[in-house]
Amino acid sequence: MKFIPGFNDVAAASRLITPFLNHTPVITSRQLNGMAGGELYFKCENFQKVGAFKFRGATNAIMNLSEVERSKGVVTHSSGNHAAALAHAAVSRGVRAYIVMPETSPEVKKRAVSGYGAEITYCKPTLEARESTCAAIMDRTGATLVHPYDNFFVIAGQGTAALELLTRWPDLDVIIAPVGGGGLLSGTALAARGVNKKIMVYGAEPEMANDACHSLKAGRIIPSDNPKTIADGLKTSLCERTFGIISQNVTDILTVSERSIIEAMLLIWERMKIVIEPSSATVLAAVLANKELFRGKKTGLIISGGNVDLRKLPFNEIP
């Protein structure tokens, strides 16, 4: 049994990291309320630093390093939002960040991570290469590994988004967050249950990467095998730590089709005028596909981030 955070750890994270965060807005939309038949409160982490909630967990991990650990730096392997978040959180607090990225990562992500001042090491695009490169850096530098979700302080930090939402709107009946590796959903569940034992907590997961749904039903971890989904932040599978928290604190996992993710993303861009990434759209997709669960209720939705490759959108093809 790994060491598991609780509500107090989320509350402690909130006190510690709030000065370094953007206080992200909670947005509502009459039109989307009408479609859902209930009240929806969107906590918009697309406006968080580095464009994603991941900055919360990364900052909490950095703030909890010992003096000796700080002096040796942190390391992670990721090509996504966690890499940028750890790089920015570490370097802006005077800590070195070593980021292992597959050499095939998009240029824009490489530039973002190096722009935050991290030291990038490229490796082959396989899990073995990423882990062995990471291990070699730890051997050489003594840097502390900060895993994107299998980490006590990261999970507690991710829960602070829900805690802020519930501080503003304490009478929510339901809260829903996307689930990939489970860091955000675990933190969200800990925050929500700590504020209100009766609150319903749902995870929203792509059908095409539904390991959390399978694992909860089976009572053991059944990882996804190379899943394909537009929700690129949700391809990872649960670990023991997040599986434990989620099985004890989450009401259910709602899976959503690729089409419904895209339709929900379009709705949010069109009606709310905000840029969100596909992973974030899973929560509205789940609400609209399961109206009986949310009708007449006050539901909080965690919008996880807004990092999407706009250069693939057509407005840059116009002269």
Per CB under 8 A, residues contacting a copy of itself are 25, 46-47, 51, 230, 258-259, 262, 265-266, 269-270, 273-276, 278, 306, 308, 310-316, 318-319
The C-alpha atoms of residue 127 and residue 226 are separated, in whole angstroms, by 11
The position carrying tokens 């010992």 is 66
Cβ of residue 97: shortest distance to a copy of itself, in angstroms?
19
CB of 76 to a copy of itself, least distance (A): 23
Between 178 and 278, name the residue whose CB sits nearer to a copy of itself: 278
> What are the φ and ψ backbone dihedral angles of 55, each rounded to 5 degrees?
-65, -25
CA proximity to 115, closest of 104, 129, 99, 130: 99
What is the pairing mode between strands 74-77 and 97-102? parallel
Residue 261: CB minimum distance to a copy of itself, A: 9
Q: Output the CA torsion 272→302→145→70 (10° steps).
A: 80
Min CB(267)–a copy of itself separation in Å: 10
End-to-end CA distance of the chain: 58
Q: Which is nearer to a copy of itself, 7 or 269 (CB)?
A: 269
* Residue (117 or 142) nearer to a copy of itself, CB: 117
d(Cα 99, Cα 122) in Å, to the nearest integer? Answer: 8
Smallest separation, CB 297 to a copy of itself (Å): 24
Output 135 or 262, the one with its CB closest to a copy of itself. Answer: 262
Q: Are 290 and 252 in contact (CB under 8 A)?
A: no
What is the smallest separation between the CB atom of 122 and a copy of itself, expressed in angstroms?
Answer: 24
Residue (127 or 266) nearer to a copy of itself, CB? 266
Beta-bridged to residue 121, according to DSSP, are 100
Residue 259 buriedness (CB in 10 A; 0-12 / 13-18 / 19+): exposed
Query: Which token pair is 193?
Result: 């249950």
Residue 286 CB, nearest distance to a copy of itself (Å)? 19
Pick from 51, 107, 63, 112: which is nearest to 89 by CA? 63
Closest to a copy of itself by CB, 198 or 273: 273
- Please give the DSSP secondary-structure letter assigned to residue 197: T
Taking the least distance from each CB to a copy of itself, the nearer of 50 and 204 is: 50
As measured in angstroms, the least distance from the Cβ of 109 to a copy of itself is: 13
Q: How many Å apart are CA 175 and CA 297, to the nearest integer? A: 10
**Nearer of residues 25 and 223 to a copy of itself, judged by Cβ:** 25
Angle at which helices 152-168 and 183-195 cross, to 10° = 50
